[in-house]
Chain A
Amino acid sequence: MEQAQSGDLTRLAGHELAALLRSGEVSSVEATQAHLDRIAEVDGDVHAFLHVNEAALEQARAIDERRAAGEELHELAGAPVAIKDVLCTVGMPSTAGSRILEGWIPPYDATVVARLGHAGLVALGKTNMDEFAMGSSTEHSAYGPTRNPWDLERIPGGSGGGSAAAVAAFEAPFALGSDTGGSIRQPAAVTGTVGMKPTYGGVSRYGAIALASSLDQVGPVTRTVLDSALIHDVIGGHDPLDSTSLEREWPSFAAAAREGASRGDLAGVRVGVVKELDSEGIAADVQARFQETVRVLTDAGAEVVEVSCPSFAYSVAAYYLILPAEASSNLARFDSVRFGLRVEQAGQTVEDVMAATREVGFGTEVKRRIILGTYALSAGYYDAYYGSAQKVRTLIQRDFDAAFEQADILISPAAPTTAFKLSEKLDDPLAMYVNDITTIPANLAGIPGMGLPMGLGDDGLPVGLQLLAPMFEDERLYRAGAAIEALLAQRWGGILATKAPELAGGAR
């Protein structure tokens, strides 16, 4: 009986669970225990978590006590949340999926983590990721890959495969991810979940272990658009500890999502289809689902137009110069001197120890990008590489500006294919890089982007839709995203995430 109830709790959307917590029908301890049970049940197969929070139940109990004492709590208080391991957490190891940070426990919380804690959410643990968020499959984690709950032989996307898989496998209703070139949206696409990359500067990066500072953005990963909006409302807003954080008043994204869902149509919304993201390299079944989705939007009153963004052709090339350049500098601090792994032998100089530590501590993909970035920044090459890439960035921003003259939001497939098989692209970095072609332009331009489900491919695996809005217009994505989610759910008889095959553990 209790087992059955636990199972039910994990199946609820985050906002539904939060409502039960608010009404007192369910305690935070019950909700947290249900998810810990689910993790114990399925995570041996999925491997979404690198660390489970031993203090979770204690934190849940504290929330229950505060509620019992009549304290006014945040609407999500007591709900569990999974945290990508790229975020610093007091009391929990924060490794960014790297051997070089194995066991490192930060003395401070990332701002987003602190804000979740302040709102009373209970951290379930830290989720797996490609090492330092470099990858599109989570296979580059130093701690072994995460598997896609829809098919354990397939990748869950990356770098935030752990957060997406945790949410898709009902191990958590809410999760945090980080998106540098698609690390939130692409995993959402291939796991049938929702992920949001906010406007650059909309969410604090303080305490997020940096990959590429000018591209990184933290955001929510959930099973519904409203749930992402609720988390975004908690973690977003100006942070004086992050100089690139925007000082502006943001509207309630949850209110926008609720309005979008209840309106039930898209009348008058100008939707731009990005020509360059709907052809080359996109699988036939993904294209088919996309066309069907465009028809759904048209039927719902959207005014669909085609827009062209010719500079997108250079986006992957520019991205793979800017990212490695910034990463090569950001990752220089991992040198064994002050924290993390140290590989040393008697009689060695500090240079020897630094080199040996980085040799052992970093994986192949990380080394590849550090070398690329170091080269791109070198004297004599800077203008040709980093300088040119920055110019491409400007061109892409202009393309978006022009496109948003014609459309309120842009849409495209969120990933070119459904989830590929583990190891399939591991030996072909370029094939892996090209996988991010649809998501990268938003990071280069700093605009917000959302990934959400738009059906299943021929192989029965999730296919994702990407929505893009102009800088600062995150609200539009929640409004339109919730409307599209509602329209598609009508067709499917529920959100896509609930259609996932039962995991072996769950059938036990």
Chain B
Amino acid sequence: MKDKLMDFDEALERFEPVLGFEVHVELGTRTKMFSAAPNPAHPDFHDAAPNTLVDPLSLGLPGSLPVVNAEAVRYSISLGLALGCEIAQSCRFARKNYFYPDTPKNYQISQYDEPIAFDGAVEIELADGRQVSIPIERAHMEEDAGKLTHVGGSTGRIQGAEYSLVDYNRAGVPLVEIVTKPIFGAEHDAPEIAKRYVAAIRDIVLSLGISEARMERGNLRCDANVSLRPRGQEALGTRTETKNVNSLRSVERAVRYEIQRQAAILAAGGTIVQETRHWHEDTGATSPGRPKSDADDYRYFPEPDLLPLAPSRALVEELRSQLPEQPVAHRRRLKAEWGFTDLEFQDVVNGDMLHLVEATVVAGAAPQAARKWWTGEIARLANEQGVEASSLVEPEHVAQLQALVDEGALTDRLARQVLEGVIAGEGAPAEVVEARGLKVVTDESALVAAVDEALASQPDVLQKIRDGKVQAAGAVIGAVMKAMRGQADAARVREIVLQRAVD
């Protein structure tokens, strides 16, 4: 069933959108939130086989007990501080009770009325340079659930599946859930604000080094709440909560879509159902999930297996002193350091590639070279495939690729072929060069032989060159490059052609 959509501008004319976001951040600690089991969100444990990163608590075995991960608490406090929040003098964990097979204890240990961090704000910068402040309600600690794979249904969802597989590796991964206050006044910028906000959280998390923050891997997950109210109305409209938006582009599109969908319903005299909605990247639409009401009864009560958490003021101040610079200041510093023009820098920021370029520079590439890769060839391929640039290739590999170019082992053209190989999963650049045999031919005698052969087969061209028509050399260079299967440095070939022609 296809939703009716109202034109975006018309929707904004008639209704005011109110936004709210819940962003879950998986912390990259070595062990889980409440046990010593390895954490799959830590780089060392990414590729673990299902149900191998488990212990009695991850499986909810009888008699198992939680113990708070002190590292996760430090990460959470740092994140709270970076969000401009107050850090609680004392806070408690609570049990959120609900039955679901991915939740091994059939309750989630979370925080309810006493979050570790509250009352903050995040500054974001829009494409045109305007700054917007997003108010933060709270950031609280909790544990992730396991992962269900539904088998046998057409949709991959639980409805209609024959059976489901459960992987408890993710059960107990430390999470911080960041909840905004209602965001008013977003107006036409609502989709962009949504994207920029999630990007800002991602940048903060990366700068703190507390998570890899890869949306496609679920390190960072956004639930986008959207409601509309008719112009002039005080009361908030009914909201929907869109889940499964796992890229920045999706966040932007999902918010736009919900505004258009809800506007069409309201304009036709309908009512919005309070529910979770599922974002579909392929169709660019949301579909209804389960109904959700404020009366959902999770029977919260204080977790009796854990003591209240009272972070010492000394710890909070120590962590505050170690905070990295704010993203806006960080951007300004990078722009100056890299010497980019306004246009070049905007290009990087708007393409959401700042952290990628930065990581590539950190890995050894010159800033301009890094910029050209990401905003050029990689952006083109990402666009072509309709995916995020970050999901195509690792910054380290881009830096390695550029190093090969810098040392003359690859031409730009060859480097693009190597990039394709890296994206195709053939390994690191050096491995692709090796496997595909793409190295530049630097053997002078081979080049000279090829040039001599080309000149001999095109005597008319040779004559023109000797007559001083140097531009005629192009035809010979082309023939040599072809003979070398493109693996030669064209500039060097040209030199040799001119030299041999007059000899």
Whether B63 lies near A207 (C-beta < 8 A) is: yes
A378 pairs with B65, CB closer than 8 A: no
Q: When the two chains form the complex, which single residue of B60, B168, B301 contacts A333, counting CB atoms closer than 8 Å?
A: B60
The CA of A333 and the CA of B58, in the complex, are separated in Å by 12
Is B244 located at the chain interface by the 8 A CB criterion? Answer: no
Residues of A within 8 A of B305 (CB): 210, 213, 243-244
B104-119 to A contact mask, C-beta < 8 Å, 1/0: 1111000000000000
Known contacts: A108-B56, A329-B95, A332-B106. The answer to whether A101 contacts B66 by CB under 8 A is no
Residues of B within 8 A of A354 (CB): 99
Residues from chain A with Cβ under 8 Å of B295 in the complex: 379
B307→A244 contact, CB < 8 A: yes
Contact of B59 among A205, A210, A338, A382 (CB under 8 A): A338
- Chain B residues 128-183 with CB under 8 Å of chain A are 164, 166, 168
Q: Which residues, 38 to 82 on B, are CB-close (under 8 Å) to A?
A: 56, 59-68
Residues of A within 8 A of B290 (CB): none
Residue with the highest number of chain B CB atoms closer than 10 Å, among A213, A242, A332, A379: A332
Size bin of chain B's contact surface:
20 to 34
In residues 270-315 of chain B, which contact A (Cβ within 8 Å)? 295, 297, 299-301, 304-307
B65, B99, B105, B106 pick with most chain A CB within 10 angstroms = B65
A106 to B63, Cβ gap below 8 A? yes
* A34 interface residue (CB < 8 Å to B): no
Given contacts A332-B106, A333-B106, A379-B297, contact A205 B62 (CB under 8 A): no
Q: Does A131 contact B (CB under 8 A)?
A: no
SS class, residues of chain A in contact with chain B: loop
**What separation, in Å, do the CA atoms of A223 and B80 have in the docked complex?**
55
| Interface flag for A206 (CB, 8 Å) | yes
Are A378 and B299 in touch, CB under 8 angstroms? yes
Q: Does A214 make an interface contact (CB < 8 A)?
A: yes
* B299–A205 touching, CB < 8 Å: no
Per a CB cutoff under 8 Å, which of B66, B106, B307 touches A335? B106
| Cα–Cα, bound, A242→B68 (Å) | 10
Expressed in whole angstroms, the Cα–Cα distance for A212 and B303 within the complex equals 11
B residues 421-469 in Cβ contact with A at 8 Å: none
Task: Give the residue name and chain of the B residue nearest to A104 (CB).
Answer: B62
Which residues does chain B contribute within 8 Å of A207, judged by CB atoms?
A: 63-64
Residues of B contacting A205 in the complex (Cβ-Cβ under 8 angstroms): 65
Given contacts A243-B305, A374-B299, A378-B297, contact A351 B67 (CB under 8 A): no
Are the C-beta atoms of B61 and A243 separated by less than 8 Å? no
User: Do B104 and A338 touch across chains, with their CB atoms under 8 A apart?
Assistant: yes
Is residue A313 contacting chain B, with contact meaning CB distance below 8 A?
no
Residue A188 CB within 8 A of the other chain: no
Most buried by B among A106, A210, A338: A338
Contact residues in B for A339 (Cβ distance below 8 Å): 59, 61-62
Contacts of A402 in B (CB 8 A): none
Which B residues are CB-close (under 8 A) to A214?
304
Evaluate whether A333 and B299 lie within 8 angstroms (CB atoms) in the complex, with A94-B62, A206-B65 already known: no
Provide a sorted-by-A list of 23 A–B residue pairs whose CB atoms are within 8 angstroms. A88-B63, A96-B62, A106-B62, A108-B61, A207-B63, A210-B63, A210-B305, A212-B304, A213-B304, A243-B67, A243-B68, A329-B107, A332-B97, A332-B105, A333-B62, A334-B62, A335-B101, A335-B106, A338-B168, A339-B59, A350-B101, A377-B301, A382-B301
B interface residue numbers (CB < 8 A to A): 56, 59-68, 95, 97, 99, 101, 104-107, 164, 166, 168, 295, 297, 299-301, 304-307
9 other A-B residue contacts (CB within 8 Å) besides A106-B62, A241-B65, A244-B307:
A107-B61, A208-B63, A214-B304, A240-B67, A242-B67, A332-B105, A333-B62, A337-B166, A382-B300
Q: Which A positions have Cβ atoms within 8 angstroms of B?
A: 87-88, 94, 96, 101, 104, 106-108, 110, 205-210, 212-214, 240-244, 325-326, 328-329, 332-335, 337-339, 350-351, 354, 374, 377-379, 382, 386
